[in-house]
Amino acid sequence: MRLLIVGGLQGQIGLATKIAMDKGAKVTHAADIEQALSSLRGGVGADLVFCDVTLDIAALVRGLSSERICTPVVACGIGTDTRRAVEAIRAGAKEYLPLPADAELIAAVLAAVADESHQLVHEDEAMTAVLSLADQIAGSEASILVTGESGTGKEVLARYVHRKSARSDKPFISVNCAAIPENLLESELFGHEKGAFTGAIARRIGKFEEANGGTLLLDEISEMDARLQAKLLRAIQEREIDRVGGTKPVKVDIRIIATSNRDLAEAVKHGTFREDLLYRLNVVNLRLPALRERPKDIRALSHHFARKYAEANGVPYRAVSSQTERLLLGHVWKGNVRELENTIHRAVLLATGPDISPEAIRLPDGSQVGAAQNSPQNPAVQNAVVSAAAVTRGLVGRTVSDVERDLILDTLDHCLGNRTHAANILGISIRTLRNKLREYSDSGLSIPSHGEQRGYEQKMAG
């Protein structure tokens, strides 16, 4: 992970830098906001910015936004200055980090923003076969398409391939195509020239040039706009890119790895993904099996996460009991490794005995995994059936578009405005979701921002 620290922080900068480096971050420093923006424009690149809260956080956020640089900002300050912390968050900072620096807090912020958990733990033969193929093709220059359900570890596998390649000592740059708005993604990938658009006060180097000599990961490639797909195809074919507003092409030497949790062949049939681009990306396909298809990994990962989160939270290590193993093996794990990790993290905090017992394995709503809730004799199930029937009757007489609208807005509300999570739950692309929300907003409905609930009281009875 690449971390840019901006400002002096009254002598605490050295300690914060050392802690971040000990956690694996590659750290650069800028004295002020203008130097920070200049550094980011020039291709130094950062996945995260720590900025002194005494500096103009709003100006930094505006500068990043106007120049289409999609890098999150964390405000840092001595002690707990509540007023400045609130002002920084309102100005656009993602978090506030009090100093003197706490090693575990910095590690948590780095992990939360950059998802730097890249250890590849496995025991199952199905996963061994995937890694064997990855080892075989890692040394080549072939483009790779990594596919699999959400949460299976596609980025972890991409980083594994990079480490095994001849480019391992060069940059590994990751871009989430679903998380960056369409109007910013082109500049994020290809960079721009001075004056290319309002706010482009200087040349900006994009991810393709940042990754020069190394590997560029295009995460969730299926969400990329068709126009950008054409530009990406040319970049892969010609090994050169055009900056936004540029007059001449720029040569690049990179290897492309793309990931998708959707069936791109189906996307081609529906006209949302270019067939020629799919052929270019899918020279080799690495399909990650779902966690339910590799049961031995459930056991291995459970023990790994139990040790990891005991250490992270400063609590005694408790082994996963054999009964708990059987319970975990019987669960469906729709969220795959990500869901299992969260469940074990929760269990580490809830466990009280000598080991992690089945009672500590709980779902996010607090209910116990594997509890006998599906029995027809269970009153809760009977009540749920009655309620479901009532809901179904309530749909009669309503239009499909009305029902769809309420489902989308209720799901977005449930996700606190997080578009990516809502789209995954709904089983639609982030682009489709954004188009629907734009349509609802144009009709006068209130749409929540990220982190908000809408208080939506405008549902129509049909």
Two tokens, residue 227? 């126009």
Q: Look at residue 10 in the predicted model and tell me its pLDDT.
A: 61
DSSP SS3 for 70 = coil
Per-residue pLDDT at 457 exceeds 60: no
Average pLDDT of the residues of the chain: 84
Tell me the average pLDDT across 333-349: 93
Q: Which of 253, 252, 267 is closest to 220 using CA atoms?
A: 267
Q: Look at residue 165 in the predicted model and tell me its pLDDT.
A: 95
Q: How would residue 427 be classed by pLDDT, with cut points 50, 70 and 90?
A: confident
Same domain membership, residue 175 and residue 84? no
Instruction: Report the CATH number at residue 268.
Output: 3.40.50.300
Instruction: Report if pTM > 0.95.
Output: no
Q: Look at residue 380 in the predicted model and tell me its pLDDT.
A: 52
CA dihedral of residues 50, 56, 58, 60 (deg, nearest 10): -60
**378, part of any domain:** no
Pick the more confident residue, 415 or 435. Answer: 435
Per-residue pLDDT at 391 exceeds 70: no
Do 73 and 24 form a contact (C-beta atoms < 8 A)? no
The last residue of a domain, from among 77, 92, 114: 114
Helix (H) or strand (E) holding 266: helix 264-269
Same domain membership, residue 394 and residue 349? no
The last residue of a domain, from among 234, 258, 287: 287
Instruction: Report the CATH number at residue 325.
Output: 1.10.8.60
**119, part of any domain:** no
Q: Look at residue 454 in the predicted model and tell me its pLDDT.
A: 54
What percentage of the chain exceeds 70 in pLDDT?
88
Same domain membership, residue 137 and residue 252? yes
Alpha-helix runs per DSSP H in 27-178: 33-41, 57-66, 82-91, 103-114, 125-138, 154-164
Same domain membership, residue 242 and residue 188? yes
Name the pairing type of β-strands 48-52 and 2-6. parallel
Per-residue pLDDT at 258 exceeds 90: yes
What percentage of the chain exceeds 90 in pLDDT?
44
Same domain membership, residue 324 and residue 215? no
Same domain membership, residue 251 and residue 184? yes
Q: How would residue 447 be classed by pLDDT, with cut points 50, 70 and 90?
A: confident
Pick the more confident residue, 177 or 78. Answer: 177
Size of the chain, expressed as the number of residues it contains? 462
Name the least confident of 112-121, 219-228, 296-305, 420-429.
112-121
What are the pLDDT digits (tens) for 170-206? 989 999 998 888 878 999 999 999 888 887 888 888 9
DSSP SS3 for 84 = helix
Q: Look at residue 180 in the predicted model and tell me its pLDDT.
A: 86
Same domain membership, residue 416 and residue 389? yes
Q: Look at residue 284 in the predicted model and tell me its pLDDT.
A: 96
Helix (H) or strand (E) holding 147: strand 144-147
Per-residue pLDDT at 282 exceeds 90: yes
Q: Look at residue 24 in the predicted model and tell me its pLDDT.
A: 72
**Start-to-end CA span in the chain (Å):** 50
**365, part of any domain:** no
HEC per residue, 349-414: HHCCCCCECHHHCECCCCCECCCCCCCCCCHHHHHHHHHHHHHHHHHCCCCHHHHHHHHHHHHHHH
Can you tell me the distance from the alpha carbon of 57 to that of 212, in angstroms, rounded to the nearest whole number?
31
CA 333 to chain centre: 19
**280, part of any domain:** yes
Q: Look at residue 462 in the predicted model and tell me its pLDDT.
A: 42
Can you tell me the distance from the alpha carbon of 30 to that of 39, in angstroms, rounded to the nearest whole number?
8
Q: Look at residue 181 in the predicted model and tell me its pLDDT.
A: 83
Q: Look at residue 356 in the predicted model and tell me its pLDDT.
A: 96
Same domain membership, residue 98 and residue 65? yes
**460, part of any domain:** no
**449, part of any domain:** no
Same domain membership, residue 175 and residue 67? no
Same domain membership, residue 107 and residue 146? no
The CA-based angle 42-166-230, given to 5 degrees, is 55
Q: What is the DSSP letter of 204?
A: B
Instruction: Report the CATH number at residue 408.
Output: 1.10.10.60
Q: How would residue 432 be classed by pLDDT, with cut points 50, 70 and 90?
A: confident
Name the least confident of 29-33, 196-200, 346-350.
196-200
Q: How would residue 371 be classed by pLDDT, with cut points 50, 70 and 90?
A: low
Q: Look at residue 379 in the predicted model and tell me its pLDDT.
A: 57
Do 407 and 435 form a contact (C-beta atoms < 8 A)? no
- Please give the tally of structural domains in the chain: 4
Q: How would residue 460 be classed by pLDDT, with cut points 50, 70 and 90?
A: very low
**367, part of any domain:** no
Do 219 and 155 form a contact (C-beta atoms < 8 A)? yes
Can you tell me the distance from the alpha carbon of 321 to that of 425, in angstroms, rounded to the nearest whole number?
32
Pick the more confident residue, 230 or 432. Answer: 230
Instruction: Report the CATH number at residue 83.
Output: 3.40.50.2300
**372, part of any domain:** no
Q: How would residue 345 be classed by pLDDT, with cut points 50, 70 and 90?
A: very high
Q: Is 444 left (phi over 0), alpha (psi -120 to 50) or beta?
A: left
Per-residue pLDDT at 459 exceeds 50: no
Q: What is the DSSP letter of 321?
A: P
Per-residue pLDDT at 351 exceeds 90: yes
Same domain membership, residue 135 and residue 241? yes
Same domain membership, residue 422 and residue 399? yes
Other Cβ atoms closer than 10 A to 24:
13
Per-residue pLDDT at 373 exceeds 50: no
The last residue of a domain, from among 76, 91, 114: 114
Pick the more confident residue, 414 or 211. Answer: 211
417: domain range? 385-442
Can you tell me the distance from the alpha carbon of 437 to that of 284, in angstroms, rounded to the nearest whole number?
36
